[in-house]
Amino acid sequence: MRMAPSIFAHVMKVIRIACAGFNQHVPLSERQVDSLSMFAMHRTKQKILTSFAPYLTKGTMPRAFDHLQLGEQLVALGGVFRSQMPNHNPDHEKLPALADQWFKRYDDGYDCTRWYTAESQAQESITSGAN
């Protein structure tokens, strides 16, 4: 427990680096949100900077989960928290409908690391196989 604060600080630093890299390498047209917007301090800085020098920013960007009600966000947070606990058994979790689609694609042999293109790639391989 004594080390927990430094561990959490390190993890948050790594997440922030990953989010900055995501912003750098994934075009805004694809990601549609600022991945750093999950950090309250970043959002605050963006609002302040936008109010003083809007030409230096891309404007305020929505958070990834702003469209969800707070209760739904808290349910998701609870699930994430439970998943990190010792002896966690995912068989007892209520999974979202999207999980069924993901597992089906995975079982069918799709490259699920390319989730958003798996369907179009499958169509291309069906089309090219028919020729």
**Are the C-beta atoms of 83 and 90 separated by less than 8 Å?**
yes
**Are the C-beta atoms of 49 and 56 separated by less than 8 Å?**
yes
Q: Answer whether residue 86 is part of any domain.
A: no
Number of domains in the chain: 2
Q: Answer whether residue 69 is part of any domain.
A: no
- Distance CA(78)–CA(126), nearest Å, equals 41
Read off the pLDDT of residues 19-44 as tens digits, 9 standing for 90 and up: 889 888 988 888 777 778 777 777 77
Q: Answer whether residue 72 is part of any domain.
A: no
Residue 15 belongs to domain spanning: 3-56
Residue whose structure tokens are 């998943």:
83
Q: Answer whether residue 102 is part of any domain.
A: yes
Indicate whether 10 pLDDT > 90: yes
Read off the pLDDT of residues 104-122 as tens digits, 9 standing for 90 and up: 888 998 888 877 665 555 5
Q: Answer whether residue 120 is part of any domain.
A: yes
